[in-house]
Structure 1
Amino acid sequence: MLQLEAFVCTIYGKAPETSVNKVRYDKIRQSYRGRQSFLSNTDGIDSTQMPPCKAVLHLHIKRANYQTLLWRTSSFQFPDLPDPEEHGWRSTPSGRLEIQWFENEFLPKELQEIL
């Protein structure tokens, strides 16, 4: 089975790394090449082209696997499906499913206090 890090490194054309987050960091550094600081100027940087961090990628893979299971069992009258909340989804108070983008907080509490 292909390791998550090796898979992501292959997608983004990097030599095998030990960390998805390292590949992300390298891509960001490459985008800011020649600038004084990461925060000095964001013109020309498209953050949608950056690879996701490992935690977000893991949730995306869980959702994709769950969707694949739905497709594979679509011909069964009563498929035995696992709980979607264990596969990158969460229930709203109204009972609808929505994407779980992060497992924890988006920003650490310490950084939230600073901002």
Structure 2
Amino acid sequence: MYGSNKIKSVDSLRFSKAKEKFSSKGSLISANENTDLSLLPPCLNSLNLHVTRANYQAMIWKRATESHPYVPAPVHNGWKFENDSLVIDWGEEMFPREITDVLEDNLGSDIDDDMEDDLYVDIPGSYDSDE
């Protein structure tokens, strides 16, 4: 898995890869200047949601030849509604709120509470819309 034959858990592998990318100084962990956290493997929760979305899309493609295919709602299939829009369910928070608060306190107020933009997707006919 991701070039490691010994590790069987994606969360353990993520931790191991994170340790490689961070240098330890005492009891604190500091990031190298050019560390791109998006290169880490996903956590198990995020991976499960990604697989669920991929499976949902494959199911839609499999039924593409049917004139009136049954397509279940995307909600609970790796998607969710936020503010009346369908968005990708990225999973739980990356860090517990307490850790995020500490990081924000240490880095100042330049960090937005909303650290990543949601990808809004319009799937016509798959949910109730005003169109």
Aligned partners of 2:12, 2:79: CA distance in 1, in Å? 26
TM-score by length of 1: 0.73
Give the structure 2 partner of residue 36 of structure 1: 24
Q: Deviations over 1:9-61 (max 9, x none)?
A: 2xx011153421001111112223xx333733421222121101110111011
Unaligned runs of 5+ in 1: 1-8
**What number of residue pairs does the alignment pair up?**
101
Is 2:83 aligned against 1:93?
A: yes
Aligned partners of 2:21 and 2:31 also within 8 Å: no
Aligned partners of 1:41, 1:113: CA distance in 2, in Å? 18
Is 2:68 aligned against 1:72?
A: no
If you compute each CA radius of gyration, which structure gives the higher value, 1 or 2? 2
Unaligned runs of 5+ in 2: 104-131
**Between Structure 1 and Structure 2, which shows a larger proportion of strand residues?**
2
- Identity, in percent, stands at 32
Match of 1:83 among 62, 73, 92: 73
Deviation of 1:105 (Å): 3.5
Cα-Cα RMSD: 2.1
TM-score by length of 2: 0.65
